[in-house]
Structure 1
Amino acid sequence: MKGAERNGRLVMIVGPSGAGKDSLIDYARERLSDDQVHFVRRTVTRPPSPGEDHNPMTADDFKVAALHGAFALHWGAHGLYYGLPVTIDDLLRDNKVVVANGSRLILPAANSRYPRLQIVSVRADPKVLAARLKARGRETSKAQEARLARSAPAAVDIEGTFVIENSGDLSVAGNRLIDLLVSRSGETIRSQTPLR
């Protein structure tokens, strides 16, 4: 749906499991007002869990919702379905900065639908990723190993991707994200490091 944006800006936060995407989003949300930036909750076919703010939905209900156009973007990964609400389009028409926890899998479709898409790639040291996955305890050790095996950067190369290293203190990475979100267009501090 090109043309939905006007002057709005969709900022898609992507990165491997354990990189701290939800933590960064929470950090920014706590420090920015709703009139500055709007943070959308994604729908996931998983029960509520600590550290992840999402709308839980069964797989069957998700499929019905997708068929009825409830999602602007949706995808499957790790045996689950994920969706971003179609209300994103209204927010962008109202010239809002909209932040969403996305996936590298959906970037080509997102880039096509939203020409002003801004991608933030969150990265962390592999040892940090492993420790975080273990600490959150959502999955078995085998499932954690599978996620880590898939955490190698995906073969997506979109110009203008902004890279945030999140292996250390959350405030350092969090403040970089806030700076990007409150910048007028993102252009002033946008990294030209491609997502690989």
Structure 2
Amino acid sequence: MARAPLGSLVLVVGPSGVGKDTLISGARQALENDKRFSFVRRVVTRPSGSPGEEHDSIEPETFDQMEATGRFALSWEAHDLRYALPISVDTDVTLGKVVVANVSRHVVAEACAKYPSCSVVLITAEISRRAERLRTRGREDADQITARLARESAPVPAGVDPIIIDNSGSVAIGITAFVMALRAIAARE
């Protein structure tokens, strides 16, 4: 009996303010009728209703319990918060889906080791656009934004060859480029 091919995990990375969540949301809408794709909501120890990203909020104690009982596919810490992808990622990859997730660059090496068919999409944008987007998002004051822009330059791990999308222009152009990249990844499967 032939085994169904495994899907892949698409790790969307890039510094704050490049528009990762905007591109993911736009691609989710553009590909909503294409059953090859699954878009994952992160679990975050940030209060619900935070502007700018769709996520499932949980308390740190609950996060610890879920992590200890194997309910996450991947987990990491960034910006004094804890993040995770639900274990449903494993099911969707096994079912042959292209699973799209916004993650930290610090978890890329672990994800690539766990998921043999892993792709990385690195979203970039001019620093002035990033600063403007971070101000609009309203989560941080001017000093915090300056500090965030100064510290976020960690590259993807050595040996990872990301697909790079410059999202400095219009949202429509960024979403189109991202959707095209996702379709190219799905075609390889």
TM-score (normalised: structure 2): 0.91
SS in 2 for 1:139: coil
Letter in 2 for 1:179: M
What residue ranges of structure 1 are gaps of 5+ in the alignment? Answer: 188-196
Tell whether 2:121 aligns with 1:120.
Answer: yes
What is the rounded CA distance, in whole Å, between the counterparts of 1:185 and 1:26 in structure 2? 18
Q: Give the match's secondary structure for 2:74.
A: strand
| 1:58 alignment partner in structure 2 | 59
Aligned residue for 2:173? 172
Deviation at 1:12, TM superposition (A): 0.6
Distance 1:57 1:184 in 2: 32
Is contact 2:98–2:186 with CA below 8 Å preserved after alignment? no
Q: How far does residue 156 in structure 1 lie from its aligned partner after superposition?
A: 2.1
CA contact (8 A) 2:14 2:123 kept: yes
Query: Which SS does the other structure have where 1:183 is aligned?
Result: helix
Q: Shift in Å at residue 186 of structure 1?
A: 5.7
Q: State whether structure 2 residue 19 is matched by structure 1 residue 27.
A: no
**8 Å contact from structure 1 (residues 42, 101) kept in 2:** yes
CA RMSD of aligned residues (A): 1.8
> CA offset at residue 7 of structure 1?
2.3
How far off is 1:160 after superposition?
A: 2.9
Counterpart-to-counterpart distance in 2, 1:94 and 1:44: 25
Shift of 1:64: 1.2
**Matched residues in 1 for 2:185 and 2:11: separation?**
17
> How many equivalent pairs are there?
184
Q: Is the 8 A contact 1:111 1:117 kept in 2?
A: yes
Q: Name the TM-score, length of structure 1 as normaliser.
A: 0.87
1:95-110 matches, cutoff 5 A: 95-110=96-111
Matched letter for residue 71 of structure 1: F
1:146, distance to aligned residue in structure 2 (A): 2.2
TM-superposed deviation, 1:140? 2.6
Distance 1:164-1:184 versus aligned 2 partners, 3 A rule = closer
Distance 2:81 2:42 in 1: 12
Cα distance in 1 for partners of 2:38, 2:5 equals 16
Q: Deviations over 1:79-128 (max 9, x none)?
A: 00000011101101100011000110001101110111000000011111
Taking the aligned partners of 1:184 and 1:82, their CA distance within structure 2 comes to: 25
Cα distance change on mapping 1:113 and 1:184 into 2, 3 Å:
closer
> Is the CA contact 1:6–1:92 (under 8 Å) kept in the aligned structure 2?
no
